[in-house]
Chain A
Amino acid sequence: MSTETTPTKTVSDYEAVLNKADTAVASFQKDDSTLIHRARGVLRNNPTLIPALVLLTAVIIFGIIADNFLKIGALSTILKQVTVTGFIALAQTLVILTAGIDLSVGEILVLSSLIMGNLAVNAGLPVGIAVIIGMFFALLMGLLNGVLIAKIKLPPFIVTLGTFSIFRSLKLWYSGSESIRNADIVEKAPGLLWFGKGINLGGASILYGGITLMLLAGVLWYILNHTAWGRHVHAIGDDPDAARLSGINVDRTLISVYGVAGLICGFAAWIAIGRVQSVSPIGFENVNLASITAVVIGGTSLFGGRGSIVGSVLGAFIVQVFITGLSLAGVDDYWQMFAAGCLVIIAVALDQSLRRASQ
């Protein structure tokens, strides 16, 4: 021993009293003292319940104040109106779960619908081939967003704001600012309009597009909750560094998320052609913001990692129920937008307060 100091005791004395200490590491205060607390607990564990309850309440209220609202006609109109926004909201949900945002989804949709229309109607390709090529370009556009975000490390907002403009100018150049008329599609490529057909139910039709929306939502729900890729999408949005250290290939997952989002937009392009029965370069201008609105109202957090596909579909329905309901109740159009805006703010406020309660 080179110094004369007495050896320090290796077991620290101050911990001796621990023998008598309470052995429980941490106990959880049961948060069920009042009904409100208990309700908050249930909502926190089942975040999809909130949009579901809001939707139910809205339907009941509009059913009372607007005479025609609960008729099958109005309900099938809502489903028709919601279809395209719903598809884009599904794509947007994937992106927002990774704490990203995609402002270019609407432009991808329109540009790929123009490609499908042009190839099928003007170039005379079979509808199936035209659709596949259109979806392929939609995938490429999504992948471009993903590569710029994951590899060049640019913020998603900036990247997709840029590609929004780029895709927008491309769509005007490609289409020469001209629409493809309904009569031409009916004559040369009726297959493009297939999703506008539907099953007749007591005087109102449920379009194949709406049914497909539900099917796709189910598929995505399964992927997000029952596959490793879905877990990784959540983990990346939650904490990208932790995800990387856990061995997740963050870059590849991010690129795949934007790619899949693009692909969904490409598929939605086909649905959109069926919905409006023509192809126009200036349609679906609002779908970008409408998709974000639906996702947020559906309870998915813009900060990533938390949210659900089902919530986004419900969110899209909530917005449309408000718009249709207010319109049937005779409220001016301006106030419909006003109501949608209020909904977004209330939804985020609710999300924040639940989050605080969980910390």
Chain B
Amino acid sequence: MTQQPILQATGLMKRYGTVVAMNGADFDLMPGEILAVIGDNGAGKSTLIKALSGAVTPDHGTIELDGKPVHFRSPDDARASGIETVYQNLAMSPALSIADNMFLGREWRKPGILGSVFRQMDKPRMNAFARQKLSDLGLMTIQDINVAVESLSGGQRQGVAVARAAAFGSKVVILDEPTAALGVKESRRVLDLIRDVRARGIPIILISHNMPHVFEVADRVHIHRLGRRLCVINPKDYTMSDAVALMTGAMEIDGNKAA
């Protein structure tokens, strides 16, 4: 692969007191791919993801987006650079409507004096955009985008969260355990949704403990162990049990196979 990674991290270090969460972690994401990140609990993968999404500032190391170094001090910084994250708890406000949630923290204002002086939100335009994005991803089984998010099922909420990320994530979408709380059928919808997002050209970082899901959708699998990247494998060359063995240290990496 001679392609330039869209998002790349080298030598990330993060220490919480005496706990070393990242110990020289490397990471790269290629354009248009689904990269799964797997690792045992405590391997530091969530710290890695938080560093990439701006929720954690690494002590050392560099992160490059499109070849340019970036320094995220907050999730807002990462978002402004086009990196959107869907958190495991979805970060949605249950009492607000679907449209409100999609635009939470980045509301559009009306043009002219209504927007500049009276700060009025452009609800019609926001609603139309939300409806458009949801139907792009085949989610318009949700009829009314003004219903409260709390009245949606788990899969529908996940769908709204993914649609929000895909709508605003111009460069990278990060999905943290998107299928963890879902049933079989709902998981399937979300996996289809992930492929739809990739088909629109947006690369995805998928964090998951669910090996069948990882092996089904991922183009490459980043295996994290002991605070650093152990290897990146091609799921076509390895089995799920290999991946689990690598991740837990039961198997050593065979250098030739690393993708």
Contact = CB atoms under 8 A, between A and B. Distances in A.
Interface of A: 1-3, 5-8, 10-12, 14-15, 18, 21, 24-26, 28, 222-223, 226-229, 231-232, 234-235, 238-239, 241-243, 245-248, 305-306, 358-359
B56 interface: no
A246 B91 contact: yes
A144 B169 CA distance: 38
Contact of B186 (A3, A6, A25, A232): A25
Sort A-B residue pairs by CB-CB distance and give the 9 closest, nearest first.
A247-B105, A245-B91, A228-B107, A26-B153, A12-B212, A235-B93, A246-B104, A246-B105, A238-B93
B173 to A, nearest CB: 15
B47 to A, nearest CB: 16
A7 B235 CA distance: 10
Contacts of A10: 212, 215-216, 235-236, 240
Contact of B216 (A11, A245, A358): A11
A18 B184 contact: yes
B139 to A, nearest CB: 9
Interface string B221-253: 000000000000001111111100100000100
Contact of B109 (A14, A228, A234, A306): A228
Contact of B121 (A6, A226, A245, A247): A226
Contacts of A228: 107, 109, 119, 121
A226 B120 contact: yes
A247 B155 contact: no
Contacts of B92: 239, 242, 246
Contacts of A305: 93-95
Contacts of B152: 26
A186 B235 CA distance: 86
Bin the interface of chain B by size: 35 or more
B90 interface: yes
Given A18-B185, A229-B119, A242-B90, A248 B104 contact: yes
B3 interface: no
Contacts of A25: 141, 153, 155-156, 185-186, 189
B76 A234 contact: no
A243 B104 contact: yes
Interface string B89-120: 11111111000110011110100000000111
A110 to B, nearest CB: 32
A227 B55 CA distance: 27
17 contacts: A1-B238, A2-B254, A3-B242, A15-B184, A25-B186, A25-B189, A26-B153, A226-B121, A226-B123, A227-B119, A234-B96, A235-B93, A239-B92, A241-B91, A305-B93, A358-B151, A359-B150
Contacts of A15: 184, 188
Given A25-B185, A26-B156, A305-B93, A231 B75 contact: no
Contact of B105 (A6, A28, A223, A248): A248
B87 interface: yes
Nearest to B77: A247
Given A10-B215, A15-B184, A21-B185, 13 more contacts: A3-B241, A7-B238, A18-B188, A25-B189, A227-B120, A232-B104, A232-B105, A234-B96, A238-B95, A241-B89, A247-B76, A248-B104, A358-B150
A114 B53 CA distance: 51
B215 A227 contact: no
